[in-house]
């Protein structure tokens, strides 16, 4: 920022940068959004129109193809009925030739009817290839009987041009009547035409009605296609019935189809030959589709339909390849230099495709016109915006200059008032300024001056108090500047270090720190300066006489606004007495730990020394139990075994407790069924239960979950709980073992009818060597069983808990279900 810039210029520049320019940017952004949105809406509209046109064209193509297909199927069904009628009358001996006068012989040996046989009757023709003696004239008479059927077919279906029947010996019977003598070649060989041989056994083994390709009609009706059906007698082909549909019928129907957006319908064969195309479409595509032809005296099969091919249209090769690969689809394709939306659908009974074409330019004409008008409007808006802001800039600039002159006069008065405050001249008068806001500011400056005077007095007073408090507590205030390599302290530093100086070199002060602590203190200083976090460090500081004293340094990194340097300001405290106490405590703790290890070692040694002879005693006693016959001896032996087992159990508990305290006990986790372990544990108490007449009742689950536990330690825990329940219950009482399970927890509950545990001892229930006031009773015990249970359950991932009862005790073993 240029500090010498005038206020007027600064205000103008600030207004231009922070008000005018953002406004212009917002306006431009809105116009840009408008233009982009308009383009997006236009594109979406175009896309929607194209999709609508594609969908509509597809529906038209499918509908027209379906109509053509339905019409052809209708013709096919009528022909099937006609064939059945022929089969019924053909070779009927009751129907014979009547010698009609219309029947005459031509100059080349052919026979034909000069006039219709009957009113609106049929025409008949026999080729010269069949001599007169071999002609079957009865069939003409038999087919004449079907004239009403043929007449009805032509009358009912506008697509049927003519109905006929051809025989293998080149007899043709056709309705409606025309001059067959002048139209047909005298020696025409009818079986060589596709409307005959396509129905024979070779080409039509299924003997169903079939459609011929487009062919040139020898009857003079031009290009047409026929549906033909064979007529068999005794499995021999007698002839072929047929119905003709001319191409003109299809052309007239399809060229008058109404297509939206000035589109049109085109009918083409699989090879691309155009069968039907409106004249207006021919002009657009710059092609000419010739009119239908006719021929006389045809002797052979003419199936090469001479019409314009799609390949003559620029770009149609792609369209032809697309529909040959996908007979039912839609595309946007360029034809003859114009973009067309094209949809096509096949006519099921033929190899034809019905195509619907719509010019994309005409489809989008209205949308493009609206878009161009919107673009023009955007340019007009932009030009108007530029002119407006040029005039507005000039107006605001002049107003800013006048405003800055007024503001300068008022600011000079405020500056004089602030200068007096800086010189600690706090007796100010409120200047009279030209704006209420500036008058309030001037009043606030006088109030601040008064507050500064009060704060300065309080600051000086508090500084004196702080200095007195530090001197009284024995702490020294210490200020460290790493940038200037300087340390300042207060008077109490002399009591700590025996040095009376108050200012030191930082390197010199660091040299007094014990070598083992120096690097740590320097790292803490650097970390505090970088992280801006409080500093706290205990280290040894060398006194002037060479001895070391423990000190604690606490401080905070602060930025000195006056000098611009980073300072670490804090206190320095002598903590030598505290460090001596801490050292004595550590020594006492080490001694206690050593005594605990010695205790564990002694317990382990003693228990091992006791366990060896106990094992021998129990072994010999077990042998004697089976050999002594004297009842008194056996009673004494049972007491001996009971005492030895109790002692052995006590030794096991002490060994377990010793290992638990030294963290030397490992558990071997297995996946087991708890029922077997519960049964084995209860069985171990059989003699004790017999002596005390106590009953253990089990309420077990039918199919308990398998637990991941140490079987031996599980039995040890359950043994301790059952042992306590039996010992502390009166004779003839009941002890219950109850299983339960939820989705996540499996529990075993041990409930007795004994004395229970007084509330006074429940908080210390699982402490070692705690018998809860039963030490003086006749019940044996050491008070470590429950402590062992808790530690073993923790090692196996479970827990043991106690629930108070009105009578007796209830302990719960809980295991997670996995």
pLDDT for the residue 125: 93
pLDDT for the residue 614: 63
Distances (CA, A) of 486 to 507, 552, 567: 8, 19, 10
Residues in the chain: 818
Q: Provide the CA 140 distance to its chain's centre, in angstroms.
A: 79
185-196 residues labelled b (16+ CB within 10 A) or e (exposed) = bbebebbebbbb
Span between the terminal Cα atoms of the chain, in Å? 72
> 695 Cβ partners below 8 Å, 6+ apart?
689, 733, 734, 735
Extract the residue ranges of the chain whose pLDDT is less than 50.
Answer: 1, 294-296, 298-299, 776, 778
Q: Please tell me the distance from the alpha carbon of residue 513 to that of residue 675, in angstroms, as a whole number.
A: 70
Angle value at C-alpha 609, between 605 and 612, nearest 5 degrees:
140
> 759 Cβ partners below 8 Å, 6+ apart?
804
> 788 Cβ partners below 8 Å, 6+ apart?
653, 656, 657, 660, 716, 717, 720
| Residue for token pair 């074409």 | 357
Q: Provide the sign of the torsion angle of the four alpha carbons 467, 468, 470, 476, taken in this order.
A: positive
pLDDT for the residue 520: 84
Residue 179, sorted as left (phi over 0), alpha (psi -120 to 50) or beta, turns out to be beta
Decide if 249 contacts 161 (C-beta within 8 A): yes
| Residue for token pair 């306006």 | 27
Number of Cβ within a 10 Å radius of residue 516: 9
| Residue for token pair 């390849």 | 321
Decide if 264 contacts 281 (C-beta within 8 A): yes
Distances (CA, A) of 366 to 35, 505, 541, 594, 811: 18, 89, 94, 100, 89
Question: DSSP H helical segments within 566-685, as ranges?
Answer: 576-627, 631-661, 674-684
pLDDT for the residue 462: 63
Q: Provide the sign of the torsion angle of the four alpha carbons 391, 392, 397, 402, taken in this order.
A: positive
Q: Please tell me the distance from the alpha carbon of residue 5 to that of residue 24, in angstroms, as a whole number.
A: 25
Dihedrals phi, psi of 344, to nearest 5 degrees: -140, 160
Decide if 153 contacts 227 (C-beta within 8 A): no
Dihedrals phi, psi of 718, to nearest 5 degrees: -65, -35
pLDDT for the residue 164: 93
pTM, two decimals, is 0.41
Q: Please tell me the distance from the alpha carbon of residue 598 to that of residue 685, in angstroms, as a whole number.
A: 35
pLDDT for the residue 195: 86
pLDDT for the residue 613: 72
- Order of strands, sheet of 274-276, starting from the edge strand that comes earlier in the sequence: 274-276, 264-269, 352-359, 338-346, 329-335
Distances (CA, A) of 116 to 103, 162, 173, 245: 10, 14, 11, 22
pLDDT for the residue 295: 47
Decide if 652 contacts 615 (C-beta within 8 A): no
Instruction: State yes or no: cis peptide before 687, omega within 30 of 0.
Output: no
Residue 131 token pair:
């001599």
Distances (CA, A) of 357 to 55, 261, 332, 340, 366: 12, 10, 9, 6, 19
Give SS3 for 803: strand
């Amino acid at each position: 920022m240029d500090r010498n810039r005038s206020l007027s210029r600064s205000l103008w520049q600030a207004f231009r940068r922070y008000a005018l320019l953002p406004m212009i940017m917002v306006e431009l952004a809105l116009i840009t959004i408008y233009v982009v949105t308009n383009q997006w809406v236009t594109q979406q509209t175009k896309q929607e129109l194209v999709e609508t046109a594609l969908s509509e064209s597809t529906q038209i193509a499918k509908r027209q193809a379906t109509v053509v297909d339905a019409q052809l199927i209708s013709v096919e069904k009528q022909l099937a009925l006609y064939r059945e009628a022929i089969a019924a009358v053909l070779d009927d001996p009751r129907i014979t030739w009547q010698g009609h006068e219309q029947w005459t012989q031509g100059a080349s040996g052919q026979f034909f009817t000069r006039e219709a046989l009957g009113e609106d009757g049929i025409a008949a023709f026999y080729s010269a290839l069949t001599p007169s003696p071999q002609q079957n004239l009865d069939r003409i008479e038999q087919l004449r009987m079907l004239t009403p059927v043929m007449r009805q077919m032509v009358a009912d279906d506008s697509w049927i041009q003519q109905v006929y029947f051809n025989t293998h010996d080149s007899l043709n019977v056709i309705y409606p009547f025309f001059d067959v003598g002048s139209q047909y070649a005298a020696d025409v060989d009818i079986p060589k035409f596709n409307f005959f041989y396509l129905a024979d056994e070779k080409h039509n083994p299924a003997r169903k009605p079939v459609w011929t390709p487009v062919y040139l009609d020898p009857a003079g009706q031009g290009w047409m296609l026929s549906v033909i059906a064979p007529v068999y007698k005794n499995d021999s082909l007698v002839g072929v019935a047929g119905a003709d549909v001319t191409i003109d019928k299809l052309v007239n129907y399809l060229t008058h189809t109404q297509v939206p957006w000035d589109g049109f319908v085109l009918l083409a064969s699989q090879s691309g030959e155009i069968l039907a195309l409106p004249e207006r479409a021919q002009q657009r595509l710059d092609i000419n589709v010739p009119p239908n032809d006719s021929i006389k005296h045809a002797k052979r099969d003419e199936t090469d339909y001479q019409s314009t091919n799609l390949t003559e249209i620029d770009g149609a090769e792609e369209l032809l390849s697309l529909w040959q690969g996908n007979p039912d689809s839609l595309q946007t394709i360029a034809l003859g230099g114009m973009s067309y939306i094209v949809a096509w659908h096949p006519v099921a009974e033929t190899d034809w495709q019905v195509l619907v074409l719509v010019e994309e330019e005409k489809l989008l004409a209205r949308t493009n016109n609206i878009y161009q008008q919107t673009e023009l409007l955007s340019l007009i808006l932009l030009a108007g915006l530029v002119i407006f802001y040029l005039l507005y800039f000039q107006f605001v600039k002049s107003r800013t200059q006048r405003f800055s002159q007024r503001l300068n006069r008022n600011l000079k008065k405020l500056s004089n008032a602030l200068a007096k405050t800086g010189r600690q001249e706090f007796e100010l008068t409120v200047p009279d300024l030209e704006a209420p806001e500036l008058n309030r500011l001037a009043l606030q400056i006088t109030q601040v001056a008064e507050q500064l005077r009060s704060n300065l007095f309080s600051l000086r007073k508090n500084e004196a108090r702080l200095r007195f408090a530090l001197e009284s507590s024995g702490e020294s205030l210490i200020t460290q500047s790493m940038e200037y390599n300087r340390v300042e302290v207060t008077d109490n530093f002399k009591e700590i270090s025996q040095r009376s100086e108050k200012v030191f070199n930082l390197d010199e002060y660091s040299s007094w720190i014990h070598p083992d602590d120096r690097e740590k203190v320097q790292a803490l200083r650097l970390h505090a300066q970088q992280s801006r976090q409080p500093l706290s460090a205990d280290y040894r500081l060398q006194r002037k006489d060479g001895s070391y004293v423990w000190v604690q340094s606490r401080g905070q990194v602060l930025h000195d606004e006056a000098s611009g340097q980073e300072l670490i300001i804090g206190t320095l405290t002598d903590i030598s007495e505290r460090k001596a106490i801490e050292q004595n405590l550590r020594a006492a703790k080490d001694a206690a730990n050593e005594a605990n290890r010695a205790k564990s070692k002694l317990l382990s040694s003693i228990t091992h020394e006791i366990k060896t002879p106990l094992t021998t005693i129990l072994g010999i006693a077990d042998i004697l139990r089976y050999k002594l016959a004297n009842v008194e001896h056996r009673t004494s032996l049972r007491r001996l075994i009971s005492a030895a087992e109790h002692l052995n159990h006590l030794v096991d508990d002490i060994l377990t407790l010793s290992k638990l305290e030294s963290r030397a006990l490992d558990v071997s986790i297995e996946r087991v069924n708890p029922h077997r372990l519960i049964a084995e544990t209860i069985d171990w108490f059989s003699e004790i239960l017999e002596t005390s007449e106590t009953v253990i009742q089990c309420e077990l689950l039918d199919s308990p979950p398998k637990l991941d536990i140490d079987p031996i330690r599980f039995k040890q825990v359950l043994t301790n709980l059952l042992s306590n329940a039996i010992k502390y219950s009166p004779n003839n009482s009941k002890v219950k073992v109850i299983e339960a399970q939820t989705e996540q927890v499996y529990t075993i509950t041990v409930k007795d009818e004994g004395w229970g545990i007084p509330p006074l001892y429940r908080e210390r229930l699982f402490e070692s060597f705690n018998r809860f006031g039963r030490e003086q009773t006749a019940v044996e015990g050491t008070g470590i069983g429950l402590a062992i249970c808790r530690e073993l359950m923790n090692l196996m991932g479970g827990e043991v808990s106690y629930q108070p009862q009105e009578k007796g005790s209830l302990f719960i073993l809980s295991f997670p279900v996995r």
